[in-house]
């Protein structure tokens, strides 16, 4: 087993080797073109997003280079692009502000260490094959958090747009208060550059949406500042960017005090990034047709962040914008992301002097436009119109992002997702259904009259410990509303899992109905569920003849289980196809005690062959057929006398006390009732034909037909 575990684990780390060996040269050109296209978007984003986290621009560039290359080589998606993101950058700022002052070496160290911690967290999730956990976090968390983060980024960047001098704070109320307090100190040239950048982006996107508007704005703004010397007039610029490879960082990997301080925030960043990355990867895979390995993607995200932290970067995650650009530019394999990192590295050496003149107010304008795009109003409206649970998750996450520390906002959204999931799975729908009008399938009819004896319930969900109470209460509630339904048919086609608590609940329902003289039957039970029922003994407890396929359930129950007395004399509904041949209900002067129970062993019986022999003896018994007249005419025992059950109950004096009497019906149920009732009236000479006319026909005995 250890050998298998080692093989599986090593396969995750050897993924780049497998990818390179399988790489086709025909993909090289489209991957290079896509990588260059993404790099044009990545370069300004890396600088701008580092600014959100109050980190130097080179830290964002280092992360862009390292994360793009490592994330692509160890990841699963062909088009997912890993690097700095706006929401994660804001989250990083929120977590680091209470620990260190922006601009200090301690702040950079904490950012790098947190990236390594996030990477280890994601790597462990992947190696432990916990990729499926992401499926339990609603997309509403991402939508709500991203919208809230967009608003926070917009407000936070007003400080740089207006060039106001006060400490950075991710809190919405505090930042607005500080802006109002310093509004008199607006630097108008900076405001003009930032506002001009916003207008230029709007113009470019209006007339040529494929052009890299942020790159154009930053280039034009840098040229204006450098050409006019505006940096000497109070315009703040990002400054010199080192022309070097990402240097190895000296991180305090054993500083447990700092690790403890970063740990809660690390969980939020790690979880948010995984959900974000997998949501993007699934979205693009849905268009490309690629099959994803979520565990391998977790490993890729983990390796990317560990590498970012070790090489002077900060936390990275999947970016929807860059991934979409990569896909639309024709990127065929992860090499397109690798090339984007290489092109950004080359750009650091080529355009570093020009980048030094990029004004921070222009970057703020770019970020405010980006932040505005983070508020997906159309998707928020869809969620609002959808389920209540998704709407609650989105609204609560959005409000928590605005008014709570961001790490707690993320964890709040994730926790709400799990709560909603548990609530949904613990309350499976239990719906009464009836055959459709054409009897081809079952459907829910709120206005239709149900069968008087048989309840058919569809269970939509698993019967596990968290759901069994709800299912059991729903079934008992239905049976209390319909006391005549002593038989229950459970449609199990939508039940994929049952645990021991579910088995106990089913046993309780069976005991309850059997005490009332009824029983439980199951239809279309899934194979895994059936196997568990067999292994726990429930299959034998219920009886193998209580499990049916779709086709034979109703027919068997109608002909062998349901009481025909009720079907003929009491029930006005004709629910099943088998009911259509029944006569219309006739009002009778005598009330038929249809719910009288008949204890086993209290009714004497005779086999078809024994009755045949007696009928051909010197003293034959009187055979009374209690079926309806039209049933009698189709076929009956030659010497039988037709006395329908309702007539027999109103005129039982027709039955002699001094001669053996055998009651006959189709399967033995009506004749058993008649025999039992007359026995209670003092008759001692009555018996029933076991199995009824069906048994008589099976025995191949002579049958008379009225023409």
Spatial contact of 115 and 62, defined as CB atoms under 8 Å apart = no
Write down the pLDDT at residue 149: 85
Residue 653 has pLDDT above 80, yes or no: no
β strands within 110-151, DSSP E: none
* Choice among 377-391, 569-583, 602-616 with the minimum mean pLDDT: 569-583
Residue 601 has pLDDT above 70, yes or no: no
Domain boundaries, given as residue ranges, for the chain: 2-421, 429-569, 605-698
Residues present in the chain in total: 707
* Choice among 86-90, 204-208, 480-484 with the minimum mean pLDDT: 204-208
At residue 547, the 3 state secondary structure works out as strand
What is the band of 585 on the pLDDT scale with cuts at 50, 70, 90?
low
Residue 429, beta-bridge partner list: 460
Write down the pLDDT at residue 588: 52
pTM of the model as a whole: 0.69
Residue 566 has pLDDT above 90, yes or no: no
Write down the pLDDT at residue 595: 45
Residue 228 has pLDDT above 70, yes or no: yes
- pLDDT tens string 47-85: 889 988 999 999 999 999 999 999 999 998 998 999 999
Q: How many other C-beta atoms are found inside a 10 Å radius of the C-beta of residue 26?
A: 8
Q: Which of 315, 303, 313 is nearest to 273 (CA)?
A: 315
Distance CA 146, CA 509 (A): 47
At residue 369, the 3 state secondary structure works out as helix
Rg (Cα) of the chain, in Å, rounded?
39
Characterize the bridge pairing of strands 622-625 and 661-664.
Answer: parallel
In 311-430, alpha helices (H): 320-328, 335-355, 360-374, 377-385, 388-403, 406-425
Write down the pLDDT at residue 448: 73
Write down the pLDDT at residue 68: 96
* Choice among 229-233, 377-381, 651-655, 693-697 with the minimum mean pLDDT: 651-655
Write down the pLDDT at residue 602: 64
Distances (CA, A) of 636 to 621, 665, 667, 705: 15, 9, 13, 6
What is the band of 596 on the pLDDT scale with cuts at 50, 70, 90?
very low
State the residue for tokens 């998707």.
379
At residue 124, the 3 state secondary structure works out as helix
Write down the pLDDT at residue 647: 80
Q: How far apart are the first and last CA of the chain?
A: 77
State the residue for tokens 């429930």.
538
Spatial contact of 143 and 87, defined as CB atoms under 8 Å apart = no
Write down the pLDDT at residue 594: 47
Average pLDDT of the residues in 156-185: 86
For domain 605-698, which CATH number applies: 3.40.50.300, 3.40.30.10, 3.40.50.720, 3.40.250.10?
Answer: 3.40.250.10
User: Which residues lie closer than 8 Å to 232 by C-beta, 6 or more apart?
Assistant: none
Average pLDDT of the residues in 343-352: 87
Give yes or no: 665 in active site. Answer: yes
Residue 706 has pLDDT above 70, yes or no: no
Mean pLDDT estimate for the chain: 86
Catalytic residue among 451, 567, 571, 665: 665
Write down the pLDDT at residue 676: 81
Average pLDDT of the residues in 251-264: 93
Residue 592 has pLDDT above 70, yes or no: no
Matching fold, domains 429-569 and 605-698: no
> Encoding tokens for residue 542?
């219920």
Its CATH architecture, for the domain 429-569, is: 2-Layer Sandwich (3.30)
Write down the pLDDT at residue 132: 75
Average pLDDT of the residues in 85-97: 90
Write down the pLDDT at residue 355: 76
Q: Please, what's the b/e burial string for 167-199 (b: 16 or more CB within 10 A of its CB; e: otherwise)?
A: ebbbbbeebeebbeeeeeeebebbbebbbbbbe
Residue 311 has pLDDT above 50, yes or no: yes
Write down the pLDDT at residue 119: 96
- pLDDT tens string 98-109: 999 998 999 999
Write down the pLDDT at residue 247: 93
pLDDT exceeding 70 applies to what percent of the chain? 94
* Choice among 494-508, 527-541, 622-636 with the minimum mean pLDDT: 622-636
């Amino acid at each position: 087993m250890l050998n298998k575990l080692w093989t599986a684990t090593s396969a995750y780390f050897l993924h780049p080797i497998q990818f390179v060996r399988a790489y086709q040269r025909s993909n090289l050109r489209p991957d290079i073109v896509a990588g260059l296209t993404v790099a044009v978007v990545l370069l300004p984003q890396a600088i701008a997003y580092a600014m959100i986290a109050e980190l130097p621009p080179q830290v964002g560039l280092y992360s862009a280079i390292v994360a793009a290359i490592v994330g692509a080589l160890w990841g699963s998606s062909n088009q997912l692009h890993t690097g700095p993101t706006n929401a994660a950058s804001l989250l990083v700022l929120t977590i680091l502000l209470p620990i260190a002052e922006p601009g200090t070496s301690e702040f950079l160290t904490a950012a790098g260490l947190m990236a390594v911690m996030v990477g280890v967290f994601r790597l462990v999730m992947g190696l432990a094959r916990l990729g499926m956990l992401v499926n339990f976090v609603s997309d509403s968390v991402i939508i709500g958090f991203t919208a809230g983060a967009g608003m926070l980024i917009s407000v936070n960047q007003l400080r740089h747009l207006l060039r106001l001098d006060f400490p950075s704070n991710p809190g919405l109320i505090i930042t607005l208060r500080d802006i109002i307090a310093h509004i008199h100190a607006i630097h108008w040239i900076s405001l003009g550059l930032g506002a001009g950048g916003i207008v230029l982006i709007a113009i470019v996107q209006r007339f040529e949406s494929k052009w890299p508007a942020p790159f154009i704005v930053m280039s034009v703004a840098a040229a204006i500042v450098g050409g006019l010397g505006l940096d000497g007039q109070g315009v703040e610029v990002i400054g010199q960017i080192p022309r070097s490879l990402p240097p190895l960082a000296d991180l305090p990997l054993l500083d447990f005090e700092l690790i403890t301080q970063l740990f809660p925030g690390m969980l939020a960043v790690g979880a948010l990034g995984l959900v974000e990355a997998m949501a993007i990867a699934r979205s693009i895979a849905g268009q490309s047709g690629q099959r994803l390995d979520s565990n391998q993607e977790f490993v890729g995200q983990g390796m990317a962040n560990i590498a970012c932290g070790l090489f002077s970067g900060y936390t990275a995650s999947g970016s929807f914008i860059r991934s979409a650009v990569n896909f639309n530019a024709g990127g065929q394999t992860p090499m397109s992301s690798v090339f984007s990192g290489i092109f950004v590295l080359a750009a650091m050496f080529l355009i570093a002097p020009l980048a030094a003149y990029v004004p921070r107010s222009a970057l703020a304008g770019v970020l405010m436009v980006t932040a505005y795009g983070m508020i997906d109003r159309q998707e928020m409206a869809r969620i609002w119109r959808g389920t209540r649970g998704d709407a609650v998750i989105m609204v609560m996450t959005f409000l928590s992002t605005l008014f709570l520390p961001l790490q707690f906002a993320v964890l709040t959204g994730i926790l709400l997702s799990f709560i909603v999931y548990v609530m949904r799975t613990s309350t499976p729908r239990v719906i009464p259904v009836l055959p459709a009008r054409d009897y081809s399938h079952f459907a829910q009819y709120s206005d239709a009259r149900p069968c008087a004896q048989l309840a058919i319930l569809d269970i939509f969900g698993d019967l596990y410990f968290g759901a069994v109470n709800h299912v059991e209460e729903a079934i008992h509630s239905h049976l209390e509303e319909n006391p005549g339904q002593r038989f229950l048919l459970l449609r199990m086609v939508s039940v994929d899992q049952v645990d021991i608590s579910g088995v106990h609940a089913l046993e309780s329902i069976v005991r309850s109905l059997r005490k009332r003289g009824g029983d439980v039957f199951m239809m279309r039970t899934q194979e895994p569920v059936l196997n568990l029922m067999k292994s726990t003994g429930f299959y034998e407890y219920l009886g193998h003849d209580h499990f049916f396929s779709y086709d034979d359930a109703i027919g068997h129950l109608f002909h062998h289980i349901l009481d025909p007395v009720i079907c003929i004399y009491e029930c006005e509904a004709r629910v099943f196809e088998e009911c259509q041949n029944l006569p219309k209900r006739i009002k009778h002067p005598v009330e038929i005690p249809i719910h009288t129970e008949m204890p086993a062993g209290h009714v004497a019986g005779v086999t078809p062959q024994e009755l045949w022999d007696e009928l051909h003896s010197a003293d034959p018994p009187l055979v009374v057929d209690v079926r309806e007249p039209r049933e009698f005419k189709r076929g009956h025992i030659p010497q039988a006398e037709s006395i329908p059950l309702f007539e027999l109950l109103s005129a039982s004096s027709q039955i002699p006390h001094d001669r053996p009497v055998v009651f006959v019906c189709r399967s033995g149920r009506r004749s058993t009732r008649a025999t039992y009732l007359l026995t209670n009236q003092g008759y001692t000479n009555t018996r029933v034909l076991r199995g009824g006319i069906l048994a008589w026909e099976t025995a191949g005995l002579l049958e008379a037909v009225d023409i």
